[in-house]
Structure 1
Amino acid sequence: MATYYEEITPKLLKFIERQNMFFVATAPAGDGRVNVSPKGYVDTFKALDAHTFAYLELFGSGIETKAHLRENPRITIMFCSFDRESNIVRLYGTGRYVRPDDPEFRDFAPHFNLEHPGLRGLVVVDVESTQSSCGYAVPYMELKGERPVLDTMHGRRAPEEWAQRVAEVNDKSIDGLPGLEPDHPLPTEVPRTYA
């Protein structure tokens, strides 16, 4: 049976800190595709307090989450355990995309590893409620390690390839919603440390 809370409780926080991945679900305001994305790299996400969750947005194959949040900020984050502790945790709230050149980015930067070469921005979730449920049907799976392919691929990209991703690949969602702005910073322009 599901249990609902008004915040990320200490128990839920401990569970989140033990996870290696999570899923993000967003949808446009009207017609359009609902998007669910798996996210990995344990140094890219964190519950910052009882009502705030954030994660680094790395360049990928699309721009659905950012495009959706612009017109419909509703977002769900889901963690599920694949080991002996059967549990599913959902964070419900509103999200916003923070560009690397936004002053707010500097406030969040110390919580994350900014060395990922495909750094695109940050998603901040204002958590309104949470849910814990059994997860009894989630299969047991064993983690072999993080997949380094995304970082490796991004580390090989030249500045002109990044510019093309901003201008042509991530400029709109699959439903035609606006994605990255033409002046969005390229990953090669993002500071990796903030004094």
Structure 2
Amino acid sequence: MGSFYETMPRSLFQWILAQKIFWVATAPLSGSGHVNISPKGGSYFGLIDDKTFWYMDLTGSGSETIAHLYEKGNGRITVLFNAFEGPPRILRLFGHGEVFENGTGPFEEFVKKHDVTILPGTRAIVLAHIHQVGTSCGFSVPFYEYKEHRNTLNQYFEKKDAKFRAGNEKESMPRYWAQKNSWSMDGLPALHVAQKTMVQEKIQPSKKMVGPRAPSQYQNANRFGLEHLILVALATAILTTFVMSFGAETARTVAVKLHASTSPWVGTPLRTAS
């Protein structure tokens, strides 16, 4: 019932482009992180060839997909299509993604080359390099009748853009991104322009989670974890004791021989932004 391919079959191109909705799934590398699934719709996606899929990433309150694609050693992405009319079908595209942020050279080059019409709320272009395609029956997927796309998001950012162009700098998209899209819910760095604007304009980012699983600190390329703090405290105590007991020269000799080891108390590995 299921079939796998290394490339997207040409026979499915027209069907893919006719779909009104699809889902994007990503996850952080850490086992304690949260898997994210985002619905996407509209005419904001396309196929470059049989191994390359793209979609326009519109601004939202979350930035999980971008954070996971940026995470060093990660970049995994799965795109899911369902047939809601006609013959049943489920299609999955497995691959790794790139992020072209609005305002960057790669973004401008892509939209010009592929004649993409951007919107006031356009945040990025996500390019997925597909290495495996899976189809399955979809016999249990229900029928749905498509009505229309919602315009609420586009209208919201059109109004926001108009206010900014009228002179209200607080309505700029980078400021919105800094507040909403600087971090993932697990504390991974997300949109680069958001991170930059957050620092430059001293904007406090929104909290993404509540309760005991909410991150107590956010990660960056130079983050120090709990294990580092414990090791520093232990090393300081040991060196202080040796200095008091045997003198500074002996303490320096011991310090050279001390080697740091990963704390067994910290189950989540450190991550760095690419």
Q: TM-score range by the shorter chain?
A: 0.7 to 0.9
C-alpha displacement at 1:23, in angstroms? 0.3
What is the correspondence of 1:30-179 to structure 2 with a 5 Å cutoff?
A: 30=30, 31-42=32-43, 44-71=44-71, 72-110=74-112, 111=114, 113-157=116-160, 158-159=163-164, 160-161=170-171, 162-179=173-190
Inter-partner Cα distance in structure 2 for 1:135 and 1:11:
18
Q: What is the alpha-carbon distance in structure 2 between the residues aligned to residue 56 and residue 168 of structure 1? A: 21
CA displacement, residues 88-120 of structure 1 (integer Å, 9 cap, x when unaligned): 111000001111233222342143642422011
Q: How far apart, in 1, do the equivalents of 2:131 and 2:57 lie?
A: 21
TM score, norm. by length of structure 2 = 0.63
Aligned to 1:60, what secondary structure does the other structure show? coil
After superposing the two structures, state which structure 1 stretch, 18-27 or 154-163, moved more.
Answer: 154-163
TM-score by length of 1: 0.88
SS of the aligned residue for 1:166 comes to helix
Q: Distance in 2 between matches of 1:45 and 1:114?
A: 11
- Higher RCO (C-alpha under 8 Å, 6+ residues apart): 1
Structure 2 unaligned blocks of 5 or more: 165-169, 198-274
Q: CA deviation at 1:33?
A: 0.4
How many Å separate the matches in 2 of 1:140 and 1:93?
28
1:80 maps to amino acid: N
**Aligned CA-pair RMSD:** 1.5
- Which residue matches 1:190? none
- Unmatched runs of 5 consecutive residues or more in structure 1: 185-195
Q: 2: distance between equivalents of 1:154 and 1:89?
A: 32
Aligned counterparts of 1:107 and 1:167: Cα–Cα separation in 2 = 24
Mean Cα deviation higher: 114-123 or 24-33: 114-123
Whole-angstrom CA distance in 1 between matches of 2:97 and 2:76: 6
In the TM superposition, residue 21 of structure 1 has moved relative to its aligned partner by: 1.3
Match of 1:19 in 2: 19
Q: Which residue matches 1:188?
A: none
Larger radius of gyration: 2
2:9 paired with 1:9: yes
Matched residues, percent identical? Answer: 38
Residue 164 of structure 1: CA displacement? 3.1
- Tell whether the 8 Å contact from 1:56 to 1:112 is kept in structure 2 after alignment: no
Higher strand share: 1
CA deviations on 1:21-51 (whole Å, 9 max, x unpaired) are: 1100000011210000000111x10011011
Matched to 1:165, the amino acid is Y
1:61 CA drift (Å): 1.8
- Determine helix, strand or coil for the equivalent of 1:16: helix
| 1:127-166 per-position Cα deviation (integer Å, ceiling 9, x unaligned) | 1010111111111010111111110111111442334322
Equivalent position SS for 1:146: coil
Partner amino acid, structure 2, of 1:145? E
Q: State the AA in 1 paired with 2:84.
A: F
Cα separation, 1, equivalents of 2:57 and 2:15:
22
Query: What secondary structure, in the 3-state scheme, does the structure 1 residue paired with 2:28 have?
Result: coil
